[in-house]
Copies of this chain bind each other. A is one copy, B any other.
């Protein structure tokens, strides 16, 4: 097997790519601007030029086993981006075919959270685990579910949208998906900021957060205030962790994972989040599952995680079309 994979993480602003070895070391990485080209072919051409430059500079020509790509709404089965909502090109985008034809290397694509799960399983906190759930706590809440060593894609390639489990059946917050009460509306960075606005309006105590214009409060502000002992800020983390822990207990009855692995800014809130999370998880857990699942933090360095996750998929990339006879 060739010794390297190319990992590509496509975001709305930047496309980051890197050469990764079997042990998960990022040999070299670079990036281009995703939105620079209105035409997908021009984008692919620049990506090819820059990635080839990186590959040649690192003497990796003909040593790339496969290319793994993480992108929003990327469908593992079809190799397409079906709803590239933050991307400048019309959907569906036949991404795997375009990249594979340009590079002459097998390509596999999936969404960011699935890529993160594969990254943890290949190089990170989930090494040796066959059943776990990756939860990414960013602007939204993403998830990658691994059962018996395999990512769950579902019948259509879109499984694993646990950020859109309903956690408040009545009077829930409006979610970006158009429904109400989704986990993501509470336990994302955005959700924490919304909680801050709600708590500050409903409650009357003083709070450090009141020094910030209410519509500008971020989850980082809430964290900073909580670290300084601010009661309302701490209660917001209590509220967030509790909802997340209750949701984990519900996920447990589905696939009984041995671990939940957290990634993203909010995951770095330490005990502020983890204590109420673990307490709620224990309290809400069905008896036969109590105490069985660990809550772990990602072991991938944040700067490398997206490329690493995407790259891990490159190890299982297969040619899209049969090799010519």
Contacts and interface: CB of A to CB of B under 8 A. Distances in A.
A286 B147 contact: no
A164 interface: yes
B257 A162 contact: no
A227 interface: no
Interface stretch (A17-25, A246-254, A299-307, A315-323): A246-254
Contact of A177 (B157, B177, B179, B287): B287
A255 interface: yes
In the complex, the count of this chain's copies comes to 2
Interface string A282-305: 001011110010000000000000
Contacts of A156: 256, 258, 289, 292
Nearest to A292: B156
Contact of A246 (B130, B166, B177, B257): B166
Contacts of A157: 256
A169 interface: yes
Interface string A200-213: 00000000000000
Given A258-B155, A292-B155, A284 B253 contact: no
Interface of A: 83, 129-131, 145, 147-148, 150, 152-162, 164-169, 177-179, 246, 249-251, 253-258, 284, 286-289, 292
